[in-house]
Structure 1
Amino acid sequence: MNKFIYKIFFLINWKKKIFPVIIQDFFKKKILMFSWLNKWNLLESFFFKKTCFWSRRRKKFWRKGLTSNNIQIIKNIYFDCDLDCYLFIIKHNFINCHYNLLSCFNYSI
């Protein structure tokens, strides 16, 4: 791993317990879902290139696609200027939403 990655992990404010993450499709650039992750989820996602999240409702770690087989492969990870929000650009099988839809963002006001 290069020195830049070490610096990034050093600069992240780990006192914050969880961080928001936006999941975006690699090809269509469509926002697919929004979730939360903690330090360990971020590290696992980075090293294994598969999305891992923190469930606030169940209060536990979960790997996307472990039971549903809707695996998300991470192509790029972006972060905002103060390192407290993340964007995962992913390739995916089919469904990303709890309601068996491609995206959680299907409705407008």
Structure 2
Amino acid sequence: MIAHVVTLTFVEGAGPATIDEFHTALTRMRVELGDRIVSYHHGPALGLRPDGADYAIVSVVRDEEALHHYLDSSAHQAVNAEFADRLFAERRAVQIDYVAEGGSPD
């Protein structure tokens, strides 16, 4: 499996209403994508460490094909189109191998 991890830093002055809209859009997108995504978690940073990002998204998919389906989906593209320019000052993403606890990497 593959974990797609995204961290976001919001633009200066990003308001709570816009961040709430973004959160709702991500939740709705997850529902639309169904079982293509094994696990999906997102939310604002807890602020436990200094100099971190403002928000994180962790998506776990079965394989590279599922990752591309997720990233190229109209639902994912719609969220990016609606929020990227007005909310994201910085976006970082990485994909890593994901092994469920107690599982094997194969």
- Scaled to the shorter chain, the TM-score interval is under 0.3
TM-score normalised to the size of structure 1? 0.25
TM-score normalised to the size of structure 2? 0.26
Higher helix share: 2
Ranked by relative contact order (alpha carbons within 8 Å, sequence separation 6 or more), the top structure is 2
